[in-house]
Amino acid sequence: MRARIAVGMGALAALMACRPEPGYRDSDWGDETTATGSACERWVGHAEDAADATGLDVALIMGVMRVESSFREDAESGAGAVGLMQVMPSTGEHYGCDDLSDGESNVRCGARVLADYVRRVDGDVEYGLAAYNAGLANAQRWKRAGKRPANIDYVRHVLRYREQFADGGCAALGPGLRTWEGDGRASLKVTDDAE
């Protein structure tokens, strides 16, 4: 347990200092000091529509978009996830989603997937987010075993941005376009706050 905490604190210190650690790379999306505010504002209405359709909290959808893509419609992960909500094409197909390269469709699809995952883990938002990032079977296994999700850092990032959006809207989400590719086991992306 102590080793996990030390590693977590080291990663947190690197994030706060904005110094790249192994595994970090500059995003291909542009200058990392670019504010996400205007990009965020562009998608709020679509997140509200998706929230109405799924019963999810608008701030939760915005938190997912902030962590997954920094509100970049053309975001694509090394694993092949695409768009604002970083939906895998196979997942989109399974859920009958439209063109994932279209921002509005991607937000609708990602929200539909997340809402289904939250429902399938008995309404637990933390495990629903864990499922969104690392797969439903993993999240269900962690929940059944009473274990914290292995991707808890991802979950905490989304929940932090959810709270910030709920408290202050897009302006509270801040800039940051650095991504972390993780260790290959789960696609974990975190964004720096360039303060």
User: Tokens in use for 124?
Assistant: 């637990």
What letter represents residue 31's amino acid?
A: D
What letter represents residue 90's amino acid?
A: S
In whole angstroms, what is the distance from residue 24 CA to residue 22 CA? 6
The catalytic residue among 21, 32, 68, 73 is: 68
In the chain, domain spans:
24-180
Fold of 24-180: Lysozyme (1.10.530)
Around 20, how many Cα atoms within 13 Å sit in the side-chain half-sphere? 14
Q: What is the pTM of this model?
A: 0.74
In a structure prediction context, what are the per-residue pLDDT tens digits for the chain, which is 195 residues long? 333 333 333 333 333 333 233 332 333 333 333 445 688 999 999 999 999 999 999 999 999 999 999 999 999 999 999 999 999 999 999 999 989 999 999 999 999 999 999 999 999 999 999 999 999 999 999 999 999 999 999 999 999 999 999 999 998 887 644 344 444 333 434 444 333
Residue spans of alpha helices (H) in the chain? 2-17, 37-54, 58-69, 89-94, 103-120, 125-134, 136-144, 152-168
Indicate if 104 belongs to the active site. no
